[in-house]
Amino acid sequence: MNAHRHSYYEAGARERLHGLLDAGSFRELLGPAERMTSPHLPPLDAPVAFDDGVVVGRGRLAGRSVLAGAQEGGFNGGAVGEVHGAKLTGLLERALDERPAAVLLLVESGGVRLHEANAGLIAVSEVMRAVLAVRSAGIPVLVLDGGQFGCFGGMGIVARCCDAIVISEEGRLGLSGPEVIETTCGVEEFDSRDRALVWRTVGGKHRYLLGEADVLVADDIGAFREAAIRLLDTVPDLSLDALDAEHGRLAARLERFGTCRDALDIWSALGIGQPARLPLLDTDEFLTATADRRA
């Protein structure tokens, strides 16, 4: 209800970057004037975008130099094509040279752009490889997820390859999207038209409770900015011990919740009182109600 809040969910990619970084500090690389468009869309008679649906550049966050990329859900749902992926990969590789305080990925994507088939798949895998290269160079890669299309498919994997995810309740994170699950496994497995089910399964609150997202914020560009600033000193840890610990955590999670049919069952199992009310709570109330109860 705060009129001074600026919705992250409803903003476009450039609006998000301008609101997130220090005022006036963002400089776009390979901007729309360069007309770097997809070579795969015109043969299909599909429209192109002059930025191929992703904005990359450098700026400052709390005075510190960062590189940042933001996907534009308004163009093909942020789907990753060859040029789109190459811009993200280039941004990440630039980090190895420039050594910024962090790389910020403002994800909003349904995954690979199906029109571009293998070129899109390869592009996503190159982004993953670049993320890991940047992290092993000691530079944190931080993900912000709060856009209208969520973060699914290959970008869902990319997001989980990074150091930390900041998510809003409106943000969604997953591998296969709800419609894909329903199509492949049947409506009995997952009813993609049950909006309440979809949101409590892939929505930010559940992803935060499961530990897949690290920070839950309100749908406000300012709140994302504050959270990103607090994560700037994250030290990437790609050691074998860290990987083993993560695998152990995932195995324990499967053990504990593997038989749950619904997020509500998981919330009950986490010992959260009145789990059905969680979706309605605003961010602060939710964090209070679930303090120390995350998986």
Partner 1 sequence: MNAPLTPPRRWDTQSQNRAARLGRAAAFARGRHVAAADARALLEAVLEPGDRVCLEGNNQKQADFLAKTLVSVDPARVHDLHMVQSVLALPEHIDVFERGIATKLDFSFSGPQGARLAKLVSAGRIDIGAIHTYLELFGRYFTDLTPRVSLIAAQAADAAGNLYTGPNTEDTPVIVEATAFKRGIVIAQVNEVVDTLPRIDIPADWVDFVIPAPTPAYVEPLFTRDPAQISEVQVLMAMMAIQGIYAEYGVQRLNHGIGFDTAAIELLLPTYGESLGLKGKICRHWALNPHPALIPAIEAGWVESVHSFGGELGMEAYTAARPDVFFTGPDGSMRSNRALCQAAGHYACDLFIGSTLQIDLAGNSSTATLGRIAGFGGAPNMGADARGRRHASPAWLKAGEQARAGSSRMPRGQKLVVQMVETFREHMAPAFVEQLDAWELAEQAGMPLPPVMIYGEDVTHILTEEGIANLLLCRTAGEREQAIRGVAGYTAVGLGRDRRAVENLRDRGVIRRPEDLGIDKRLASRDLLAAKSMKDLVRASGGLYDPPKRFRNW
Residues in contact with partner 1 by CB under 8 A are 1, 3, 5-7, 10, 195-196, 198-200, 279-280, 282
Cβ count near 179 (within 10 Å): 13
Token pair, residue 249, equals 């955590």
Question: What does the alpha-carbon distance between residue 236 and residue 164 come to, in Å, rounded to a whole number?
Answer: 9
Q: End-to-end alpha-carbon separation of the chain, Å?
A: 31
Residue 172: Cβ within 10 Å count: 27
CB-nearer residue toward partner 1: 88 or 209: 209
- Residues with Cβ < 8 Å from 198, sequence gap 6 or more? 178, 192
Identity of the residue, 9 or 257, whose beta carbon is nearer to partner 1 in the bound complex: 9
Question: In this complex, which beta carbon is closest to partner 1, that of residue 149 or of residue 199?
Answer: 199
CB of 19 to partner 1, least distance (A): 11
CB of 287 to partner 1, least distance (A): 16
Q: How far is the CB of 280 from partner 1 (least distance, A)?
A: 6
- Rank residues 1 and 235 by Cβ distance to partner 1 and give the closer one: 1
Residue 124: count of CB within 10 angstroms of its CB: 24
Q: Which residue number, 169 or 214, has a Cβ lying nearer to partner 1?
A: 169
- Count CB neighbours of 189 within 10 A: 9
CA distance 259 to 269: 11
Q: Which string of b and e fits 7-21 if b means at least 16 CB within 10 Å?
A: ebbebbbbebbbbbb
Q: Which residues pair with 59 in a beta bridge?
A: 66
HEC assignment per residue over 20-39: HCCCCCCEEECCHHHCCCCC
Taking the complex as a whole, the smallest distance from the CB of residue 220 to partner 1 amounts, in Å, to 10
Nearer to partner 1, 7 or 25 (CB): 7
To the nearest whole angstrom, how small is the minimum distance from the Cβ of residue 81 to partner 1?
A: 28
| Residue 278 Cβ vs partner 1, minimum distance, rounded to whole Å | 9
Q: Report the C-alpha gap between 156 and 216 in whole angstroms.
A: 17
Query: Looking at beta carbons only, is 7 or 37 nearer to partner 1?
Result: 7
* CB 279 to partner 1: min, Å: 3
Q: Residues near 116 by Cβ (< 8 Å), separated by ≥ 6?
A: 38, 40, 41, 81, 82, 123
Extract the tokens encoding 125.
């895998």
Question: C-beta of 4: minimal distance to partner 1 in Å?
Answer: 8
In the bound state with partner 1, the residue whose beta carbon lies nearer, of 193 and 249, is: 193
